[in-house]
Chains A and B, each alone.
Chain A
Amino acid sequence: MHTLSKLLNDKELTYLSLTFQGLDKEAIAKELQFNDNKSKRHSYMKNRIFDKLSVNNWHNAFRRAFNLQLLDRQDFLVIDIQKEASTISTKITEILNSTEIDDKEKELVIYLALLSFQIKIEYSYLFKEKE
Protein backbone atom coordinates (compact mmCIF):
# COMPACT_ATOMS: atom_id res chain seq x y z
CA MET A 1 0.00 0.00 0.00
CA HIS A 2 1.28 3.45 -0.88
CA THR A 3 1.59 6.21 1.68
CA LEU A 4 -0.17 9.12 0.03
CA SER A 5 2.50 11.72 0.76
CA LYS A 6 5.12 9.52 -0.89
CA LEU A 7 2.98 8.13 -3.66
CA LEU A 8 4.58 10.33 -6.32
CA ASN A 9 7.97 11.93 -5.91
CA ASP A 10 8.46 15.64 -6.67
CA LYS A 11 9.51 15.06 -10.26
CA GLU A 12 6.58 12.75 -10.98
CA LEU A 13 4.18 15.20 -9.37
CA THR A 14 5.57 18.05 -11.48
CA TYR A 15 5.36 15.90 -14.61
CA LEU A 16 1.72 15.05 -13.83
CA SER A 17 0.83 18.66 -13.11
CA LEU A 18 2.52 20.06 -16.23
CA THR A 19 0.89 17.40 -18.40
CA PHE A 20 -2.51 18.28 -16.95
CA GLN A 21 -1.85 21.94 -17.69
CA GLY A 22 -1.34 20.98 -21.33
CA LEU A 23 2.38 21.61 -21.73
CA ASP A 24 3.92 19.72 -24.63
CA LYS A 25 6.68 17.16 -24.16
CA GLU A 26 9.39 19.59 -25.22
CA ALA A 27 8.36 22.16 -22.61
CA ILE A 28 8.10 19.49 -19.91
CA ALA A 29 11.54 18.14 -20.81
CA LYS A 30 12.95 21.64 -20.49
CA GLU A 31 11.23 22.24 -17.14
CA LEU A 32 12.43 18.90 -15.73
CA GLN A 33 15.86 19.19 -17.33
CA PHE A 34 15.70 16.06 -19.43
CA ASN A 35 18.93 16.58 -21.30
CA ASP A 36 19.36 13.22 -22.97
CA ASN A 37 17.20 10.23 -23.95
CA LYS A 38 14.16 12.50 -23.78
CA SER A 39 11.79 10.01 -25.35
CA LYS A 40 12.82 7.27 -22.92
CA ARG A 41 12.51 9.60 -19.96
CA HIS A 42 9.02 10.70 -20.97
CA SER A 43 8.00 7.10 -21.36
CA TYR A 44 9.55 6.19 -17.99
CA MET A 45 7.77 9.03 -16.19
CA LYS A 46 4.43 8.16 -17.76
CA ASN A 47 4.74 4.49 -16.89
CA ARG A 48 5.83 5.25 -13.30
CA ILE A 49 2.89 7.60 -12.77
CA PHE A 50 0.37 5.21 -14.35
CA ASP A 51 1.74 2.34 -12.32
CA LYS A 52 1.70 4.21 -9.01
CA LEU A 53 -1.82 5.55 -9.59
CA SER A 54 -2.93 2.21 -11.01
CA VAL A 55 -4.42 3.67 -14.19
CA ASN A 56 -4.14 2.97 -17.90
CA ASN A 57 -4.45 6.43 -19.45
CA TRP A 58 -3.92 10.11 -18.67
CA HIS A 59 -7.63 10.85 -18.25
CA ASN A 60 -7.85 8.40 -15.37
CA ALA A 61 -4.47 9.51 -14.03
CA PHE A 62 -5.74 13.09 -13.69
CA ARG A 63 -9.02 11.91 -12.19
CA ARG A 64 -7.27 9.79 -9.58
CA ALA A 65 -4.74 12.51 -8.84
CA PHE A 66 -7.55 14.95 -8.06
CA ASN A 67 -9.36 12.35 -5.95
CA LEU A 68 -6.19 11.74 -3.95
CA GLN A 69 -5.60 15.51 -3.82
CA LEU A 70 -2.20 15.19 -5.47
CA LEU A 71 -3.58 17.89 -7.76
CA ASP A 72 -5.57 20.62 -6.04
CA ARG A 73 -9.00 21.15 -7.60
CA GLN A 74 -9.07 24.73 -6.27
CA ASP A 75 -6.31 25.59 -8.75
CA PHE A 76 -8.44 24.55 -11.72
CA LEU A 77 -12.10 25.02 -10.73
CA VAL A 78 -13.97 27.23 -13.17
CA ILE A 79 -17.29 27.23 -11.34
CA ASP A 80 -18.22 28.80 -8.02
CA ILE A 81 -19.16 25.88 -5.74
CA GLN A 82 -21.10 28.13 -3.31
CA LYS A 83 -23.16 29.54 -6.17
CA GLU A 84 -23.77 26.08 -7.59
CA ALA A 85 -24.79 24.81 -4.13
CA SER A 86 -27.21 27.70 -3.80
CA THR A 87 -28.86 26.90 -7.15
CA ILE A 88 -29.19 23.19 -6.36
CA SER A 89 -30.48 23.98 -2.83
CA THR A 90 -33.32 25.99 -4.31
CA LYS A 91 -34.18 23.08 -6.61
CA ILE A 92 -34.07 20.59 -3.72
CA THR A 93 -36.33 22.82 -1.60
CA GLU A 94 -38.83 22.91 -4.49
CA ILE A 95 -38.69 19.13 -4.84
CA LEU A 96 -39.21 18.61 -1.10
CA ASN A 97 -42.15 20.97 -0.94
CA SER A 98 -43.79 19.55 -4.05
CA THR A 99 -47.19 17.95 -3.46
CA GLU A 100 -47.19 16.14 -6.79
CA ILE A 101 -44.65 13.41 -6.06
CA ASP A 102 -44.32 10.97 -3.18
CA ASP A 103 -41.39 10.76 -0.77
CA LYS A 104 -39.73 7.84 -2.53
CA GLU A 105 -39.64 9.73 -5.80
CA LYS A 106 -38.39 12.84 -3.97
CA GLU A 107 -35.54 10.80 -2.54
CA LEU A 108 -34.59 9.54 -6.00
CA VAL A 109 -34.74 13.01 -7.57
CA ILE A 110 -32.60 14.41 -4.74
CA TYR A 111 -30.09 11.58 -5.15
CA LEU A 112 -29.78 12.46 -8.85
CA ALA A 113 -29.46 16.17 -8.00
CA LEU A 114 -26.60 15.35 -5.59
CA LEU A 115 -24.83 13.30 -8.28
CA SER A 116 -25.30 16.05 -10.82
CA PHE A 117 -23.84 18.57 -8.31
CA GLN A 118 -20.78 16.36 -7.83
CA ILE A 119 -20.41 15.70 -11.58
CA LYS A 120 -20.54 19.42 -12.30
CA ILE A 121 -17.80 20.12 -9.77
CA GLU A 122 -15.59 17.26 -10.98
CA TYR A 123 -15.78 18.05 -14.69
CA SER A 124 -15.34 21.74 -13.95
CA TYR A 125 -11.73 21.17 -12.91
CA LEU A 126 -11.12 18.02 -14.93
CA PHE A 127 -12.20 19.49 -18.27
CA LYS A 128 -12.06 23.14 -17.20
CA GLU A 129 -15.67 23.54 -18.28
CA LYS A 130 -18.48 25.63 -16.88
CA GLU A 131 -21.40 23.54 -18.15
Chain B
Amino acid sequence: MTGNLITLSNTEKYFLRLSVLNFDDQYIADFLSLRKEDLSYVRGTLKKKFKTKDWVALIRQAFKLGILKKQDYVDSTVEKIALGYASKIIKDFKNISYGYKFSQDTLLDFDNTVTSTLKQMIITSK
Protein backbone atom coordinates (compact mmCIF):
# COMPACT_ATOMS: atom_id res chain seq x y z
CA MET B 1 0.00 0.00 0.00
CA THR B 2 1.67 3.19 -1.16
CA GLY B 3 -0.36 5.27 1.30
CA ASN B 4 1.51 3.71 4.21
CA LEU B 5 4.94 3.92 2.65
CA ILE B 6 7.41 5.92 4.69
CA THR B 7 10.94 6.16 3.42
CA LEU B 8 13.56 6.86 6.05
CA SER B 9 17.18 7.85 5.62
CA ASN B 10 19.77 5.59 7.28
CA THR B 11 20.32 8.22 9.96
CA GLU B 12 16.61 8.27 10.76
CA LYS B 13 16.44 4.45 10.85
CA TYR B 14 19.44 4.14 13.16
CA PHE B 15 18.16 6.93 15.37
CA LEU B 16 14.83 5.15 15.74
CA ARG B 17 16.43 1.78 16.47
CA LEU B 18 18.90 3.14 18.99
CA SER B 19 16.19 5.14 20.67
CA VAL B 20 14.00 2.04 21.15
CA LEU B 21 17.07 0.24 22.47
CA ASN B 22 17.15 2.97 25.14
CA PHE B 23 20.43 4.59 24.20
CA ASP B 24 20.70 8.21 25.29
CA ASP B 25 21.08 11.19 22.96
CA GLN B 26 24.80 11.53 23.55
CA TYR B 27 25.47 7.91 22.61
CA ILE B 28 23.24 8.14 19.54
CA ALA B 29 24.87 11.39 18.45
CA ASP B 30 28.35 9.88 18.82
CA PHE B 31 27.31 6.71 16.99
CA LEU B 32 25.87 8.68 14.09
CA SER B 33 28.73 11.21 14.11
CA LEU B 34 26.30 14.03 14.74
CA ARG B 35 26.19 16.83 17.26
CA LYS B 36 23.72 16.27 20.06
CA GLU B 37 21.80 19.34 18.83
CA ASP B 38 21.41 17.76 15.37
CA LEU B 39 19.28 15.00 16.88
CA SER B 40 16.44 17.47 17.32
CA TYR B 41 16.43 17.91 13.55
CA VAL B 42 16.35 14.11 13.02
CA ARG B 43 13.53 13.83 15.55
CA GLY B 44 11.69 16.58 13.69
CA THR B 45 12.01 14.96 10.27
CA LEU B 46 10.82 11.65 11.71
CA LYS B 47 7.76 13.32 13.24
CA LYS B 48 7.03 15.00 9.89
CA LYS B 49 7.34 11.74 7.96
CA PHE B 50 5.15 9.86 10.42
CA LYS B 51 2.79 12.84 10.64
CA THR B 52 2.67 12.78 14.44
CA LYS B 53 4.19 14.70 17.31
CA ASP B 54 3.60 11.76 19.65
CA TRP B 55 6.82 9.74 19.96
CA VAL B 56 5.06 6.64 21.30
CA ALA B 57 2.57 6.70 18.42
CA LEU B 58 5.48 7.11 16.02
CA ILE B 59 7.26 4.06 17.42
CA ARG B 60 4.03 2.05 17.33
CA GLN B 61 3.59 3.00 13.67
CA ALA B 62 7.22 2.06 12.91
CA PHE B 63 6.58 -1.43 14.32
CA LYS B 64 3.32 -1.70 12.41
CA LEU B 65 5.01 -0.79 9.13
CA GLY B 66 7.87 -3.24 9.76
CA ILE B 67 10.48 -0.47 10.02
CA LEU B 68 11.17 -1.80 13.52
CA LYS B 69 10.90 -5.52 14.19
CA LYS B 70 9.49 -6.76 17.50
CA GLN B 71 11.88 -9.73 17.54
CA ASP B 72 14.83 -7.32 17.66
CA TYR B 73 13.68 -5.85 20.97
CA VAL B 74 13.05 -8.98 23.03
CA ASP B 75 14.72 -8.68 26.41
CA SER B 76 17.75 -10.96 26.67
CA THR B 77 16.32 -12.35 29.92
CA VAL B 78 13.23 -13.51 28.03
CA GLU B 79 15.43 -15.12 25.37
CA LYS B 80 17.37 -17.05 28.03
CA ILE B 81 14.17 -18.27 29.70
CA ALA B 82 12.74 -19.31 26.31
CA LEU B 83 15.91 -21.27 25.52
CA GLY B 84 15.62 -23.14 28.81
CA TYR B 85 11.97 -23.99 28.23
CA ALA B 86 12.57 -25.09 24.61
CA SER B 87 15.29 -27.44 25.82
CA LYS B 88 13.08 -28.83 28.60
CA ILE B 89 10.14 -29.37 26.22
CA ILE B 90 12.35 -31.41 23.89
CA LYS B 91 13.68 -33.49 26.81
CA ASP B 92 10.15 -34.21 28.05
CA PHE B 93 9.09 -35.13 24.53
CA LYS B 94 11.99 -37.58 24.16
CA ASN B 95 10.96 -39.32 27.38
CA ILE B 96 7.52 -40.10 25.98
CA SER B 97 7.84 -42.08 22.80
CA TYR B 98 4.29 -42.12 21.42
CA GLY B 99 1.28 -39.79 21.30
CA TYR B 100 2.92 -36.88 23.06
CA LYS B 101 0.59 -33.94 23.68
CA PHE B 102 2.13 -30.68 24.78
CA SER B 103 0.32 -29.04 27.69
CA GLN B 104 -0.61 -25.38 27.47
CA ASP B 105 0.16 -25.15 31.19
CA THR B 106 3.84 -25.19 30.22
CA LEU B 107 3.27 -22.03 28.17
CA LEU B 108 1.45 -20.34 31.04
CA ASP B 109 4.26 -21.41 33.35
CA PHE B 110 6.77 -19.92 30.88
CA ASP B 111 4.81 -16.65 30.89
CA ASN B 112 4.74 -16.61 34.71
CA THR B 113 8.49 -17.21 34.86
CA VAL B 114 9.07 -14.34 32.42
CA THR B 115 6.87 -11.87 34.31
CA SER B 116 8.24 -12.76 37.74
CA THR B 117 11.85 -12.63 36.53
CA LEU B 118 11.41 -9.26 34.80
CA LYS B 119 9.79 -7.86 37.93
CA GLN B 120 12.87 -8.74 39.99
CA MET B 121 15.32 -7.10 37.62
CA ILE B 122 17.42 -4.37 39.14
CA ILE B 123 17.35 -1.07 37.30
CA THR B 124 20.81 -0.14 36.16
CA SER B 125 21.74 3.44 35.47
CA LYS B 126 21.07 4.98 32.04
Report A's interface with B, CB cutoff 8 A.
1-2, 4, 7, 51-60, 62, 64, 67-69, 73, 81-82, 85-86, 88-89, 92-93, 96-97, 103, 106-108, 110-111, 114-115, 117-119, 121, 123, 127
Cβ contact of B20, chosen from A59, A73, A92, cutoff 8 A? A59
Closest beta carbon of chain A to B93's beta carbon, Å = 5
Q: Which residues from B are CB-within-8-Å of A82?
A: 104, 108
Q: Which residue of A lies closest to B90 (CB)?
A: A107
B56 & A62 in contact (Cβ 8 Å cutoff): yes
B residues 82-126 in Cβ contact with A at 8 Å = 82-83, 85-87, 89-90, 93-94, 100-104, 106-108, 110-111, 114-115, 118-119, 121-126
- Minimum distance in angstroms from A90 CB to a CB of chain B: 8
Interface SS of B by simple majority: helix
Q: Tell me whether A114 and B86 are in contact (CB under 8 A).
A: yes
Q: CB within 8 A of A123: which of B70, B78, B90, B124?
A: B70
Q: Are A54 and B102 in contact (CB under 8 A)?
A: no
Interface size classification for chain B? 35 or more
B74 within 8 A of A: yes
Q: Is the CB–CB distance between A97 and B100 below 8 Å?
A: yes
Cβ of A68 and Cβ of B118 under 8 Å apart? yes
**Any A CB within 8 A of the CB of B71:** yes
- Against A, the Cβ 8 Å flags (1 = close, 0 = not) of B3-29 are 000000000000000011011110000
